[in-house]
Structure 1
Amino acid sequence: MKKSLLDTSPVNEQDTLRILVIEDDEDDFILAEDYLEEAYGKKAKVTWASTYNDAVNLIDNNSYDVYLIDYMLGEHTGIELTKEITSSTYQVYAVILLTGMDNREVDIEATNAGAMDYLVKQELNAALLERSIRYALKRKHIEEKLVSLAQHDPLTGLANRTKFNLALNEKIEQAKRKNNSFAVILLDLDNFKEVNDTLGHSTGDTLLKITAKRINFSTRNIDIIARLGGDEFAIIAEFENIGEGSSRFAERILEELSKPLELDYQHVNTGASIGIAVYPHDGVTPESLLKNSDLAMYKSKRSGRNTYRFYDPEFELELTQSKKLHDELQVAIDDNQFILMYQPIVDTQRNKVVKAEALIRWQHPEKGLLSPVYFIEAAERNAKIIQIGQWVMQQAFKDCLEWQKQEELKDVGVAVNLSPHQFCSEHLIDDIKNALNNLNLHHRSITLEITETTLMEIGEDMIERLNLLDDLGVNLAIDDFGTGYSSLAYLKRFPVSTLKIDRSFVSDIEHDSDDNIITKTIVNLGQSLNKKVIAEGIETKHQLDIVNAFGCHLIQGYHFAKPMPVNELLIWVKQFSSQGG
């Protein structure tokens, strides 16, 4: 009964006026037809439905500008049909009720049902009918404008969330009748927040408008597109082969949205994460389809972004587990469930421990001691890493200050890893300053380790931050060196004192000639740039001999010691020192 959202053709006064007359008395229809011909001539195309069911069938399969409905239609009434036609909240209809009764109650009933006018047949003439239709069409035009404003996004011109939900409801009803499938495709931009934060909201709005045009370009006229809010867009699309069609559709959109842009004289690389849910396989209600496409989109983001995923029930379980881990991490922070372990770094030339790296563990009340592999990624995603990182830094500094009171450890510094979020935090410099000042710990006892991948991602923007850290007097080390394909030009500019060779190169250095060459090259590079080089992950005497032969004498790994609590570290260092290394 409801007109499709896709049928949005406006009524033009110069076009043929499509009028459906629903009248069970042929004589009354002929009279109305004569009046219409007198008023409009050939500009009116009049269709007759003599029964309620005929009217329903015609309305389901055709579009009309005006509906003239008789009050009495056999077993049904014109009020019932009027309610059926006007029940849509996203489409406006010009309905005029015709009756043989001049009754105020019927007039009110017709108005409440959604009719725009009520005419008594005995008073009907061409002029009165033309006037009623003219007023109904004018009111229809005004109401359509109001509906459009209420159901369209003013920035992009696309349908908004309200209209999308209505369209989704309609699509579900159609799919039930036709027993077919369709896809709900949800997408949002991968770096929209960065554009807003760095280039301003005006530029962000421009990006959203361009995105809307690009999506329109990638879709078909039969697809329903909406902006749900922020940088989130939604599409309803139907394909003959739902799986293959949805995949190609998503790939086409990703290709279009990944094309680089220039906004405010800045090159901007955009991309999108897409989630797809299919009716009825992934849901039969608007709520379930939107929720499941959203879960699939979330999975796309976690899979590296600028990609798409179909909904999988496993996503919900994963999200539930992620939410549980999020809550448990907050409890761990509040209840101080984390502990630090320390792995010594040995200078093999002097047979002396020079530093110890702080490595976090979670003393879970039910699962026991957990390695960071279990929780760090989750902490990074939900920003708990900032709180955890602050605690690690403060506790490591305190432990270092305590062990330096021991003669054997007075020159042993501490190395602390900085997560990407922590490194980019605006509070990092102040946090370090406050921690050092409160403890009166010598700045050069501190080494902050930042992964090479993090440095490559931040590039030029964060070199100033590295310089500020260097100005504090702390040492800076590049962790996992060799995995991020550093530019030599960048490396020369980074104020770092130490390179840590990634353990992946060391682990097979005895048997893999490529790893052997890479390790030797890194050692030579570090020496040529006057930087210290640490080989981590050394587990055997043979590995140790190889890196020592390359000229690398700062060693970390199980060959000397596993990570241990601070009290065990004190004992271990004393024993190591007493044995001469």
Structure 2
Amino acid sequence: MILARTASTSDPVFTGLIIIVIIGLSVLLLWSIIREMKKRKKEREQPKKTPGLMSLSHLTESLNEFVRVYHLSKKATIFVFSFANANELAESFGRRTEMILKDKVLQNVIKILPRNAVLAEYRNESDSYALLLRGDFPEDKLLSFANYLVSVIETPVAVPNLEIEISYSAYLGIVYYPTHAISVTDLLNKADVALYMNQKSPNTKYTVYSSSFAVTEEENLVYYNQIKAAIKNKEFELYYQPICECKTQNIVGFEALIRWKHPELGILNPAKFLSVLENSGDINWIGKWSMHVICAYYNEQRALFKEHNVFFSVNLSVKQLLNENLVNDFAAILNQYHVPTDAICFEIEEYALYERYPVIQTTIRELGEKGFKLAIDHFGLDSNNIKKLESQEPYMIKLVAKDTLEAQDSFVGSRVFEILIDTCKKRNIKISSLMVENQDDIKKLEESGFDYQQGYFIAEPMSAKDNAEFFSASFRLKEDESKKKEE
């Protein structure tokens, strides 16, 4: 009886266990099916590898074999090229479409190659390709081929499902074996340098490696290759330096300054890598990324920032100003986050270039029409620049504190400064000082007629979190001081 009762009471438990096992196996099977379906879908969406395009390992094996067999007795040439505007096209049409377009271009390149040529994927992070030509070709023939290669790469191709054509812009570096190097590693490194130098000369179709290229350029090249990975790994960060009102010392804005959280070298300031971003074209990506980061930060602290009507100051380079899509791109980002355009102040340093480039004049005018604030960074204290203020009328001009104070020690300098102050007051242009070094500077700048000031003496650039805490604390301190005075 006891045994029978035990068996009968255990039956539901056993049945329940069986049901749980069946459900578990069913879920596992369903999960496996879904994963396999996603995998196959992803494979279908990926464009097939370009026929005739080899891997980098195949290229290096071919080079090593060539060097081993012929060792200095025969010549070879490596052409390394990259697509300058690949990221912009990917943003416009989607990564898959951009890859299809690139495949069309590579197929066109393959059609013009000599019989023994090897075309291979080169640096995935920099979206570049390498072409190996083996043979004792005269240099004029090689350079003629380089021109032809660039023209083929830049030939317009049709966008799928759209009745339009687009064209890539190409960078091309060239290196010769054994003229420039006799080892495969050195040869490829120097090909990288040649490509990088060509990116610094956008009006030049190709660049042949030269031993005259400075060591610093090779250092920049290291940063260039690392920057592509840094973008992917989200290693860039914005720091913020407060801009204060001279009379009250209240914070009126922040200058956004990019920093690179390098995995080996720590926090790098822009002096180390900004020129590399300029030359690679990634400066346009950085500009849009910065807008997204600032807008997200503004919304995160919206109540605090909006209450005190602060603005964020961002530097624009000449290369960015030459981008005809810049105004619409920035306006769209601010609209996405519902951030007012007057919360952003764009700083422009190359003031003299306004007259040389109509595109820059148009961009600056359109930024103003959209409601963005404009500032002239490192304003030169001379009468010609002051006259230009009458037509440009920026929101703010920024001068180096030390240079301005020293200029006032001379009769001519003090007179020019008086004219500047008078012009700015009449036109309601704010005057801000840079690089304030001590308390004496703060007092003199206020007495001279400056409106704003910033510098390491006032506050160093800070992370977003530290900046918000510093901002809140500064106003709490002001409120406490006001209460004490009232008491």
**Taking structure 2 as the reference length, what is the TM-score of the superposition?**
0.54
> In the alignment, is the contact (CA less than 8 A) between 1:326 and 1:382 conserved in 2?
yes
Q: Which residue of 2 aligns with 1:378?
A: 276
The within-5 A match list for 1:155-554 is 229=147, 313=211, 315=213, 318-406=216-304, 410-453=308-351, 455-456=353-354, 458-482=356-380, 487-488=385-386, 490-502=388-400, 505-506=403-404, 521-554=419-452
Higher relative contact order (CA 8 A, sep 6+): 2
> In the alignment, is the contact (CA less than 8 A) between 1:409 and 1:573 conserved in 2?
no
> In the alignment, is the contact (CA less than 8 A) between 2:349 and 2:377 conserved in 1?
yes
Identity of matched residues, % = 24
Q: How many pairs were matched up?
A: 321
CA shift, 1:298, in A, is: 8.1
Which one of 555, 558, 564 corresponds to residue 456 of structure 2? 558
Residues 301 and 352 of structure 1: CA distance in aligned 2, closer, same or farther (over 3 Å)? same
CA shift, 1:168, in A, is: 5.7
Q: Which residue of 2 aligns with 1:128?
A: none
> In the alignment, is the contact (CA less than 8 A) between 1:420 and 1:454 conserved in 2?
no
Q: Distance in 2 between matches of 1:414 and 1:471?
A: 18
State the AA in 1 paired with 2:469: I
1:405 alignment partner, SS class: helix
> In the alignment, is the contact (CA less than 8 A) between 1:506 and 1:543 conserved in 2?
no
Q: Which residue of 2 aligns with 1:122?
A: none
> In the alignment, is the contact (CA less than 8 A) between 1:505 and 1:519 conserved in 2?
no
Residues 408 and 470 of structure 1: CA distance in aligned 2, closer, same or farther (over 3 Å)? closer
Residues 455 and 231 of structure 1: CA distance in aligned 2, closer, same or farther (over 3 Å)? farther
1:579 alignment partner, SS class: helix
> In the alignment, is the contact (CA less than 8 A) between 1:538 and 1:556 conserved in 2?
yes
2:213 alignment partner, SS class: helix
Q: Distance in 1 between matches of 2:148 and 2:406?
A: 48
Unaligned runs of 5+ in 1: 1-161, 171-185, 187-225, 233-276
State the AA in 2 paired with 1:229: N
State the AA in 1 paired with 2:331: K
Q: Distance in 2 between matches of 1:302 and 1:486?
A: 31
User: RMSD of the TM alignment (CA)?
Assistant: 4.7
Q: Distance in 1 between matches of 2:203 and 2:406?
A: 32
> In the alignment, is the contact (CA less than 8 A) between 1:282 and 1:311 conserved in 2?
yes
CA shift, 1:378, in A, is: 0.5
> In the alignment, is the contact (CA less than 8 A) between 1:343 and 1:358 conserved in 2?
yes
Residues 431 and 541 of structure 1: CA distance in aligned 2, closer, same or farther (over 3 Å)? same
Residues 334 and 511 of structure 1: CA distance in aligned 2, closer, same or farther (over 3 Å)? farther
Q: Distance in 2 between matches of 1:453 and 1:395?
A: 27
2:450 alignment partner, SS class: coil
Q: Distance in 1 between matches of 2:430 and 2:179?
A: 58
- Between stretches 550-559 and 566-575, larger displacement belongs to 566-575
> In the alignment, is the contact (CA less than 8 A) between 1:506 and 1:538 conserved in 2?
no
CA shift, 1:550, in A, is: 1.5
1:480 alignment partner, SS class: coil
Q: Distance in 2 between matches of 1:314 and 1:378?
A: 19
Q: Distance in 2 between matches of 1:553 and 1:313?
A: 51
Considering fraction of residues, name the structure with more helix. 2
Q: Which structure: larger Rg?
A: 1
Per-residue Cα deviation, 1:92-142 (whole angstroms, up to 9, x for no partner):
xxxxxxxxxxxxxxxxxxxxxxxxxxxxxxxxxxxxxxxxxxxxxxxxxxx
Q: Distance in 1 between matches of 2:220 and 2:202?
A: 17
The within-5 A match list for 1:114-153 is none
Residues 407 and 299 of structure 1: CA distance in aligned 2, closer, same or farther (over 3 Å)? closer
Q: Distance in 2 between matches of 1:169 and 1:415?
A: 50
> In the alignment, is the contact (CA less than 8 A) between 2:408 and 2:417 conserved in 1?
no
Residues 465 and 229 of structure 1: CA distance in aligned 2, closer, same or farther (over 3 Å)? same
Unaligned runs of 5+ in 2: 1-132, 151-174, 482-487
Residues 368 and 166 of structure 1: CA distance in aligned 2, closer, same or farther (over 3 Å)? closer
State the AA in 2 paired with 1:544: I
**Taking structure 1 as the reference length, what is the TM-score of the superposition?**
0.46
> In the alignment, is the contact (CA less than 8 A) between 2:383 and 2:416 conserved in 1?
no
CA shift, 1:564, in A, is: 0.8
Q: Distance in 2 between matches of 1:445 and 1:524?
A: 26
Residues 404 and 484 of structure 1: CA distance in aligned 2, closer, same or farther (over 3 Å)? farther
CA shift, 1:408, in A, is: 8.8
1:559 alignment partner, SS class: coil
> In the alignment, is the contact (CA less than 8 A) between 1:412 and 1:445 conserved in 2?
yes
Q: Distance in 2 between matches of 1:449 and 1:523?
A: 20
CA shift, 1:377, in A, is: 0.5
Per-residue Cα deviation, 1:140-196 (whole angstroms, up to 9, x for no partner):
xxxxxxxxxxxxxxxxxxxxxx9xx765699xxxxxxxxxxxxxxx9xxxxxxxxxx
Residues 489 and 572 of structure 1: CA distance in aligned 2, closer, same or farther (over 3 Å)? same
Residues 422 and 573 of structure 1: CA distance in aligned 2, closer, same or farther (over 3 Å)? same
State the AA in 1 paired with 2:147: G
State the AA in 1 paired with 2:268: L
CA shift, 1:548, in A, is: 1.3
Q: Distance in 1 between matches of 2:233 and 2:350?
A: 33
